[in-house]
Amino acid sequence: MSKIMPMLRLENIRKTYPLGPIAVEVLRGISLEVNRGDLVSIMGPSGCGKSTLMNIIGLLDRPSSGSYILEEREVSGMNDDELSTTRNASIGFVFQSFYLLPRLTAAENVGIPLVYRGLGAQDVQHSAREMLDKVGIGERANHKPNQLSGGQQQRVAIARALVGRPGVILADEPTGALDPSIGQEIMDIFLRLNAEEGTTVIIITHDPAIALQCPRQTRLRDGELYPETPQEVVLSA
Amino acid sequence: MILSANTKEAARSLYATKQRSLLALVGIIIGIGSVIAMISIGTIVKSEALKQFQELGTDFLTIRKISSSTGRSSIRLADAVGLPAAVAAISTAAPWIQSFGEFVYAGKQVGSGGMLGVTAPFVALYKLPLASGRFLSDLDFRRSYCVIGADTAQAMRSVGAKQIVGEPIKLAGRLYTIVGVLQQTSSWGMRPFNANQAVFVPITTAQSAFDGPEIESIIVRVRSDAPHTAVTAEIDRYFSRKVKGLEINVESAKNLIEQMQKQQQLFALLLGAVGSISLIVGGVGVMNVMLVSVAERRQEIGIRRALGARRGDIQGQFLIESLILSLLGGVFGIALGFGTSYGICLFSEWTFLMSPTAVVLGVGVASGVGILFGFWPAYQAARLDPIAALRAG
């Protein structure tokens, strides 16, 4: 192979929602290439279409038009089961409010993606604990979410996103529910994973302090995506 | 594996809402309980009937006077005793008279119940085994002799009788001498009396001693190859020739079996109806609890979908939950059903049996209800839009 394929490539993605008699266009032709090993931020104010874009990248929603190639496969024509399987294999979600299942222990929460992959309980346990160690809370493996602090819960969520070794980690406002210092600890984990292991990460945020730390930055404004050179942002900040 | 993880998860979720889960089970428990009781009592009654027929055989007919018979016409003793001679297919005939009274021995009451005036063949026809002494014979003509049942003999012993045969006993105010004691038998069986609590006197004595000295019924044994309908017709002709205006009814053991089956069918129908209705109510209860569970866990469903659960995985998770719920109800229901039939057996003096068919059926019906009524909530859970589900909460 002479040409290196990108991890994911969006081409002219549009998303229109019907709102009564009129149609509202939330995304107006988004094009984005993310390569293996990228750490990209998508920054924008609330209501700019960030969530919609994240849902489309995360295969939770379908674009109205446009092409989306994820790990060399066109996903726009996939049925629901194929989307679920691809989501399980290629996407690791980290949400603003962690979204851990309250009845499950930290290790069990981390293991969920592997359970849906059909792995045996032993393998799931083993991988889950390994991931918890990697994010630095291996000793809390048997705690329930309500016995953990916000920062610890988000670490569990990151372990859960990593456990299936997906192509890309999709983090939606990962520090939004945390104190700035704790948020920075979470951000440091992403930076470390990216630098040390080449993990591909897309961080969606409204917070310039987070976006600024990413080697590659984009800005979403009125349904369109603009690349930004890091220096420019540093100067204007 | 997804299945074992789903099962564990379902059990945990049910345990977390145990009060709600248990309440939802009441309908299922009653439903399965009725079905189990129905099957189990059916089996028990069948085996009881079999036991009785094995004891008595099916080759006998009961002749009864119909109360609408005109005037003072009645079955005469001589006509009854003459039956085997007149009708070739009949081998033995035993007319009997019944009255009721108290039995008094040594000034103490030792029993009360049926006093039967009988002839010698009676004991053979009803297969009454003797414990001691002898049964009545034709030579006891109008003598005050009697044979007593096992319970009465036991009662006499408990008030101090050392020897039973030869002792005097007062039956409905008249003094008799005991000539024989019967062994313990099954209480009623196919017999129209309880042999253990009855006393037997010569029919000729009964005719003068009892209040209602009329022969109501004759039991006859038929040669096994004789068709019952032909014999019945012949008996009818015999009596219409002997006594003017006498109408009789002939009942065969087969009729009795049919009656018993009809009764049991009615019983089964009733329990079946109660069972089906409770199962529907129970199923709706399960569905309701599952719908609540789905609504409460919308966000969980969204999270699971985001982490790669397919619709089928979500549907499976909730189906397993309702299946476990229903099976739990099934287990309690089976216990309730067997408890109920055990109680009925105690009451009816039947031998209790555990029917494995009932257990299999109970588990099967419970699973069926769980899947049937769990399907809609599970389907709804599976069709939830992941984004909307994630935002819920």
Which residues have CB under 8 Å from B290's CB, separation 6+?
B318, B321, B322, B325, B373, B374, B377, B378
| Complete edge-to-edge strand list for the sheet that includes strand A91-94 | A91-94, A168-172, A200-205, A39-43, A216-221, A224-228
- Mean of pLDDT values over A112-121: 93
Residues B365, B370, B375: CA angle, nearest 5 degrees: 130
Q: In the structure, what pLDDT confidence band is assigned to residue B81 with cuts at 50, 70 and 90? A: confident
Distance from CA of A145 to the nearest CA of B (A): 14
Which pair of structure tokens corresponds to residue A7? 């991890």
Q: Which tens digit of pLDDT belongs to each residue from B152-175? A: 998 999 888 888 888 899 888 889
| B16 has a chain A CB within 8 A of its CB | yes
Closest-CA residue to B383 (of B320, B302, B321) = B302
Containing A211, the helix (H) or strand (E) segment is helix A208-211
**From A124-138, A156-170, B24-38, B59-73, the region with the lowest mean pLDDT:** B59-73
Across chain B, mean pLDDT equals 85
Rounded Cα–Cα distance for residues A61 and A55 (Å): 5
User: Is residue A2 helix, strand or coil?
Assistant: coil
| pLDDT the model gives residue B77 | 85
User: Is residue A101 helix, strand or coil?
Assistant: coil
The 3 state secondary structure assigned to B119-155 is CCCHHHHCCCCEEEECCCCHHHCCCCEEEECHHHHHH
DSSP letter for each residue of B216-264: -EEEEEE-TTS-HHHHHHHHHHHHHHHSTT--EEEEEHHHHHHHHHHHH
| pLDDT the model gives residue B55 | 67
Q: Which tens digit of pLDDT belongs to each residue from B251-284? A: 877 777 777 677 777 877 887 888 888 889 889 9
Distance set, CA B24 to CA B144, B175, B281 (Å) = 67, 65, 10
CB atoms within 10 A of CB B134: 13
For testing contact with chain B, the best of A55, A60, A96 (most B CBs within 10 A): A60
Rounded Cα–Cα distance for residues B95 and B63 (Å): 9
| pLDDT the model gives residue B78 | 83
A65 phi and psi angles, rounded to 5 deg = -155, 170
Rounded Cα–Cα distance for residues B127 and B307 (Å): 77
- Mean of pLDDT values over A105-114: 96
Containing A185, the helix (H) or strand (E) segment is helix A180-197
Q: Please, what is the angle between helix B253-296 and helix B356-383, to 10°? A: 30
Rounded Cα–Cα distance for residues A167 and B271 (Å): 61
**From A97-101, A224-228, B68-72, B257-261, the region with the lowest mean pLDDT:** B68-72
Question: Counting Cβ atoms within 10 Å, is residue B64 exposed (0-12), middle (13-18) or buried (19+)?
Answer: middle
| pLDDT the model gives residue A203 | 96
CB pairs under 8 A between A and B: 63
**What is the 8-class DSSP label of residue B215?**
B
Which residues have CB under 8 Å from A186's CB, separation 6+?
A151, A154, A155, A158, A174, A175, A178
B2 phi and psi angles, rounded to 5 deg = -65, -40
- Mean of pLDDT values over B343-367: 85
For testing contact with chain B, the best of A100, A104, A115 (most B CBs within 10 A): A115
Query: Is the Cβ–Cβ distance between A154 and A178 less than 8 Å?
Result: yes
For A88, the closest chain B residue by CA position comes to B308
Percent of chain A scored above 70 by pLDDT? 95
Q: In the structure, what pLDDT confidence band is assigned to residue A27 with cuts at 50, 70 and 90? A: very high
User: Is residue A1 helix, strand or coil?
Assistant: coil
Strand partners, A181: none
Q: Which amino acid is at A58?
A: G
Query: How does A110-135 read in b/e, with b if 16+ C-beta sit within 10 Å?
Result: bbbbbbbbebeeeebbebbbebbebb
Containing A11, the helix (H) or strand (E) segment is strand A8-19
Categorise residue A66: left if φ over 0, alpha if ψ from -120 to 50, beta otherwise. Answer: left
Which pair of structure tokens corresponds to residue B45? 């009654």
Which residues have CB under 8 Å from A165's CB, separation 6+?
none
Q: Which tens digit of pLDDT belongs to each residue from B303-318? A: 999 999 999 999 999 9
Query: Is the Cβ–Cβ distance between B222 and B91 less than 8 Å?
Result: yes
| pLDDT the model gives residue A237 | 38
Which residues have CB under 8 Å from B302's CB, separation 6+?
A99, B384, B386, B387, B388, B389, B390, B391, B392
pTM of the model: 0.73
| B13 has a chain A CB within 8 A of its CB | yes
Q: In the structure, what pLDDT confidence band is assigned to residue B190 with cuts at 50, 70 and 90? A: low
Question: Counting Cβ atoms within 10 Å, is residue B310 exposed (0-12), middle (13-18) or buried (19+)?
Answer: buried
Rounded Cα–Cα distance for residues B298 and B381 (Å): 8
Containing A230, the helix (H) or strand (E) segment is helix A230-236
| A47 has a chain B CB within 8 A of its CB | no
Length of chain A: 237
Question: Counting Cβ atoms within 10 Å, is residue A146 exposed (0-12), middle (13-18) or buried (19+)?
Answer: exposed
Query: Is the Cβ–Cβ distance between A181 and A149 less than 8 Å?
Result: no
| pLDDT the model gives residue A2 | 40
Query: Is the Cβ–Cβ distance between B246 and B69 less than 8 Å?
Result: yes
Computed on alpha carbons and rounded to an integer, the radius of gyration of chain B in Å comes to 32
Question: Position of tokens 């930290």?
Answer: A106
Q: In the structure, what pLDDT confidence band is assigned to residue B330 with cuts at 50, 70 and 90? A: very high
Q: Which tens digit of pLDDT belongs to each residue from B18-47? A: 888 888 888 889 889 988 888 888 888 778
Computed on alpha carbons and rounded to an integer, the radius of gyration of chain A in Å comes to 18
With an 8 Å Cβ cutoff, are A60 and B312 in contact? Answer: no
**Which chain B residues touch A117 with a CB distance below 8 Å?**
308
Rounded Cα–Cα distance for residues B305 and A98 (Å): 15
Which pair of structure tokens corresponds to residue B211? 């209040």
**Which chain B residues touch A169 with a CB distance below 8 Å?**
none
Which of B1, B300, B307 has the CB atom closest to A118's CB atom? B1
Taking the CA atoms of residue A186, residue A192, residue A198 and residue A202 in that order, the dihedral angle to the nearest 10 degrees is 30
CA atoms within 13 A on the CB side of A175: 22
| pLDDT the model gives residue B311 | 95
| A17 has a chain B CB within 8 A of its CB | no
**Which chain B residues touch A131 with a CB distance below 8 Å?**
none
